[in-house]
Amino acid sequence: MRIIKLLLFATIALTTTISCSKKTSGKVTSTNESEQIEEDMTGVYTGLLPCIDCPGIETTITVNPDNSYEISQVYTEKDSVPFISSGLIKKSEKENIWVFKSRYNETFYQFEDSVLRMLNNNQQEVDELLEQHYILKKKESEKNKLLLSQFVNKEWALKQLSGKTIDSKDGERKPHVIFDAEEDRVHGYAGCNSFFGDYQVEDDGTVRFENIASTKMYCSEKMEMETAFLQALQNCDKLSVDNNTMQLMDAENKVIAVFKED
């Protein structure tokens, strides 16, 4: 009950774009106040925002390269026709916060890791008990979906590392990597220790491995190879898949690791 009350209170404190009682639209035509948005910020974001007197507001925000945006909102169990508003995006004085400005109002979002987090009118996060209700996640493009479908949720056994062939003895656990599509997590076995972390893949094949960590066992014969394996993940800039072969490349397009689907 306390969470429900907090949710209602936080919703009232937000801008009227998520209020069922007032619906406004308008298009801004001047770009004088705009600053260039981040390249990876462009795209389509979706989520279900809280609503005072309905189950939720199905929200889609399209962010364009020219700093313009369009918001489509459907108030569930109330409206069948989306409410559309549009405007321009400018940088807030606060770090990593963007102002979405239409002719009639302003809303504030924080952009990070392919997520738009809606903030209140003071450009602050909503109460921590409710913050997950104000997140819009970036939709993957069709090109990205195709790329991801080629390597996620499969076990990839390490075959080459820095040009050297990696052989595993019969019955020995193979160094490998697995990409979890649902949580954008990566995990696997590096030769001695298990490892885990986060990954993100862009449409052009650019990949980022972040927060890579591992268990702390010591295997005298395996540590050099394991260290090089984990370093290859850190140095990876691009990823390519051809049938059952996956290659990791650095920023200079040099192949640093080769895997086979196991």
- 19-52 confidence digits (pLDDT tens): 333 333 333 333 444 467 777 788 889 999 988 8
pLDDT in tens, 124-149: 988 766 777 899 988 876 666 767 77
Q: Which stretches of 12-123 are assigned E, i.e. beta strand? A: 43-49, 57-63, 68-75, 83-91, 97-101, 106-112, 115-118
pLDDT of residue 7: 39
**208 vs 67, higher pLDDT:** 67
- Cβ-contact 98, 37 below 8 angstroms: yes
Q: Which CATH class is domain 144-261?
A: mainly beta
pLDDT of residue 38: 76
Q: b/e per residue, 140-163, with b = 16+ CB within 10 A? A: beeebeebbeebbebebbbbebee
Q: How confident is the model at residue 72 (pLDDT cuts 50, 70, 90)?
A: very high
Please report, for residues 44, 80, 158, the alpha-carbon distance to residue 8 in angstroms, rounded to integers and kept in the order given. Answer: 27, 23, 51
pLDDT of residue 1: 44
pLDDT of residue 259: 96
Q: Where in the chain is the domain with CATH 2.40.128.640?
A: 2-139
Between CA 137 and CA 114 the distance in angstroms is: 6
User: Which residue bears the tokens 């094949």?
Assistant: 205
- Cβ-contact 86, 68 below 8 angstroms: yes
pLDDT of residue 204: 64
Mean pLDDT of the 96-107 span: 91
Three-point CA angle 206, 207, 209, nearest 5°: 160
- Taking the model in full, what pTM does it have? 0.51
CA 30 to chain centre: 30
Between CA 196 and CA 192 the distance in angstroms is: 13
Give the DSSP per-residue string, 143-159: HHHHHHHTTTTSEEEEE
**161 vs 10, higher pLDDT:** 161
Residue 4 has pLDDT above 50, yes or no: no
pLDDT of residue 79: 63
Percent helix, strand, coil in the chain, to 5, is 15, 40, 45
Q: Which fold has domain 2-139?
A: Lipocalin (2.40.128)
Q: Where in the chain is the domain with CATH 2.40.128.270?
A: 144-261
